[in-house]
Amino acid sequence: EVQLLESGGGLVQPGGSLRLSCAASGFTFSDYAMTWVRQAPGKGLEWVSTISASGFSAYYADSVKGRFTFSRDNFKNTVYLQMNSLRDEDTAVYYCARRELLDYWGQGTLVTVSS
Amino acid sequence: NFMLTQPHSVSESPGKTVTISCTRSSGTIASHYVQWFQQRPGSAPTTVIYEDNQRPSGVPDRFSGSIDSSSNSASLTISGLKNEDEADYYCHSSDGTNRVFGGGTTLTVL
């Protein structure tokens, strides 16, 4: 059974940093691209970033480019989202999902950016 | 970047059929796969359709997806509506490096 478990969310001040993790199980992790999607309170879904299966390539939404870094450890079956220079508008539930097609989703972790 | 436009809301009675559209603003709808996600209140999204018209295991065949090149749009059709289908539905596609979601459609089962 495919499982994705996010962690690392919490309250952070504007300008601060946070690192999210997503631990994967139930499939051959190194064969699949992975994606982060976020959802601000009461809003729709927003694509954040996708990383290739090897980790050599990552793509970012314009809203996070230069501030967020997506990485993966194929030995630990885990992906990471390093979020720097956080803004109020980054407040959201962050979901990790498998593949660019987002065939499986985690339950999400809440990030709140507030002073 | 392109956009995917969905109706804000649709409603229909139990047992009926409803179709939710997703129109691509630029680029051809057939050039990249379309996915559809269901999100019930307070829950994470789940996939109901991937690669335009494929159903994941466990999704009932009441759910179907299609694309129409003439209108440059994709559609999600739910037949035999049940109260449990009441949720937000999002379409999703890409143009290579950008991935885009539609704004979401709230389905109300009256």
pLDDT at position A1 is 92
pLDDT at position B84 is 95
pLDDT at position B1 is 82
pLDDT at position A30 is 97
pLDDT per residue rounded down to tens, chain A (115 residues): 999 999 999 999 999 999 999 999 999 999 999 999 999 999 999 999 999 999 999 999 999 999 999 999 999 999 999 999 999 999 999 999 999 899 999 999 999 999 9
Shortest Cα distance, chain A CAs vs residue B100, angstroms: 6
Which residues in chain A are contacts of B46 at CB distance < 8 A?
105
Interchain contact, A103 vs B56, CB within 8 Å:
yes
Query: What is the pLDDT confidence band of residue B97, given thresholds at 50, 70 and 90?
Result: confident
Q: Which residues lie below 8 Å from residue A14, measured CB to CB, with a gap of 6+?
A: A86, A87, A88, A113, A114, A115
* Res. B54: pLDDT tops 80: yes
Interchain contact, A46 vs B101, CB within 8 Å:
yes
Q: Give the H/E segment covering residue A80.
A: strand A78-83
Residue among A37, A30, A9, A111 at smallest CA distance from A78: A30
